[in-house]
Structure 1
């Protein structure tokens, strides 16, 4: 293999010069071999965290002790962060976390990783160290656990969801029966995971270019109904994707879900923004192709454009008239009611509930007239309704 371009990264070069026994590990190696963009550059080394910090500082690089208990130091080089972790082996696991000990054995460190495609390392010269045939699995589209699948899953049940996410991107072969059996057998262990970890992993799967084969496999193995007990419809998600809707995690989640959005958002502890968006996508009026501009303006005055567009994807059809509707929505300026409380006070009205009621009346009139009335017309209507 020719020299990988990643090794020309200036920050990485500085680190590999400072810590000469370090290697790239994990996704950086995997995606380099796959010819994919590399987003995060992680390294491993037999050197202790203290030795790593000392070597970085001696080289004039910033060292941040971000996870010393796990052997991780973050080096900042060329305005970018690089995680450097001392080689480890597992002492004990409980399905969520591992108790580790440091080691100087590269194979031992690789053996604790989840999948063979993630267990490779690369030195400063571009030499690949592949203890479990990860490169061949990557070429074949075969996502394989390192060692016994059941044992690997029992170490951290999040690996069930990670398996599906990685399979959606790198897998081309259907998982063998032993792997499927291990995934199914590990389902009860998902209850041990924090809901935040579950949602984080699943939301990353949802934005895959085509998550449907993976979603269908998760459904077949009863994993999907376990993490989304409120009810799902893979067919609705398939329809959304086939219509070439944008690969938006929350939009796809709204299509997949059939049960109560509020209950699911609460159980998964979605952020307030995520919860509100999911609920808004699932309910409320949907614009239709035969709506006139006044109707669309009324909707835009009360509902965010993003929500209305999302509802057209969820409730519309993959036809030209629905595409034209989305273009119309995006072309219409969002109407803003031109009056505020000070406009009512300027008429001599005393502050209080009556001011709010009067403004709501005028806004109702403004909406009924297609949000076309300007500030002067609305103020005239306000004076008329306020009376002498």
Structure 2
């Protein structure tokens, strides 16, 4: 049996206390993703706990020790415990009696391997006690060493239980990359890819946002395109030749913009993705801003950069810079980042009322304000109100 040290980011003392309390009714272990991450040396976002204790026993123990308990999924054996600054989910071991896609009739069990067999991938099916002993029933440790993503048991069966596992397969590939491919798993995800149409947009968005910001994002996108998955995301195939030279960042929306901009019709693909992935209004506004126009951002043209900063605002300008860095990773943008950080937006001296007094009306006012604003920025914001009024008057006279 493999043994490993538990890292300091795991609240060990709290979990020891919890396990001691639950030992009155059964055995408890760390399970799933947190075990995978411990083995890989990654910091885990969640700590999942499984126990042979029945849900009613867990509730009784929590009540006796004044621990706040929320029966979040008690029908399926999950109790959430509130411990000062930590929230932990404790789930009783289960086995499936009947499966209806994502929904299953379960029966509680005290068999750890039986519970592990319900998991999606071998790397997520391990458990661990507080001595650091790893219980690996399906070869998850070896698969981690070989960067191999493999379904537990029969791949088709696992996928039919929840078609989101198609995208989860690629999400874990985007974590680990590598050339080791389990053919049974890949054949199954390709076969059932059309069933992604049954998934909600929110679930697709959540998985895809994780995929496109991971270490092997490009390799995964290429893998998805090559195996007939991407076409079921309601987006044209990206230009892989372009993406090959990109350096994706940790912000999913910026990476998504870069991917969409590599297609033949970015705005259409923006809208298609919004509908299918159920992007929020804020996300869609940002995405359209990033995809709709190329700003001439380079360190050699201070005025153009300031013009973009003024019209976009600091936050959107920084997002444009990050996008440019993704697409042109060898370009030195440090001066532009510095400009943005130190830029204080000046107040434009003219108003629509000033322009109206000169004689402009209706839609002309907006056009003249834009004309004057560009002249003001081109002067490095130095033109005063009187000078801008003279400029506008000259334009008015020349037009007459």
- Show the 5 A alignment for 1:1-388: 1-5=3-7, 9-20=12-23, 21-241=27-247, 245-257=248-260, 258=263, 259=265, 260=268, 261-289=270-298, 292-303=301-312, 304-313=316-325, 317-320=328-331, 323=333, 326-327=336-337, 329-330=339-340, 333-338=343-348, 361-362=368-369, 364-370=371-377, 372-373=380-381, 377-378=384-385
Distance 2:272 2:385 in 1: 41
92-101 or 66-75, which moves further after superposition?
Answer: 92-101
Q: Residue 374 of structure 2: SS of its match in structure 1?
A: helix
Q: Residue 377 of structure 2: SS of its match in structure 1?
A: coil
Distance 1:23 1:366 in 2: 65
Shift of 1:382: 7.0
1:95 touches 1:192 (CA, 8 Å); kept in 2? no
2:254 touches 2:319 (CA, 8 Å); kept in 1? no
Distance 1:311 1:122 in 2: 41
Q: Residue 252 of structure 1: SS of its match in structure 2?
A: helix
The 3 A distance-change label for structure 1 pair 366 and 212 is closer
Distance 2:231 2:366 in 1: 48
Q: What's the TM-score once normalised by structure 2's chain length?
A: 0.82
1:339 touches 1:359 (CA, 8 Å); kept in 2? no
Distance 2:343 2:17 in 1: 51
Deviation string for 1:253-280 (max 9, x for gaps)? 1222224212321232101121111111
RMSD: 3.3
Q: Residue 120 of structure 2: SS of its match in structure 1?
A: coil
2:171 touches 2:211 (CA, 8 Å); kept in 1? yes
The 3 A distance-change label for structure 1 pair 98 and 357 is farther
- Could you tell me which runs of 5 or more consecutive residues in structure 2 were left unpaired when the two chains were aligned: 394-400
The 3 A distance-change label for structure 1 pair 23 and 113 is same
55-64 or 159-168, which moves further after superposition?
Answer: 55-64
Shift of 1:202: 1.1
2:234 touches 2:272 (CA, 8 Å); kept in 1? no
Q: Residue 370 of structure 1: SS of its match in structure 2?
A: helix
Q: What's the TM-score once normalised by structure 1's chain length?
A: 0.84
Deviation string for 1:296-328 (max 9, x for gaps)? 22221111213431453466x4444x5356446
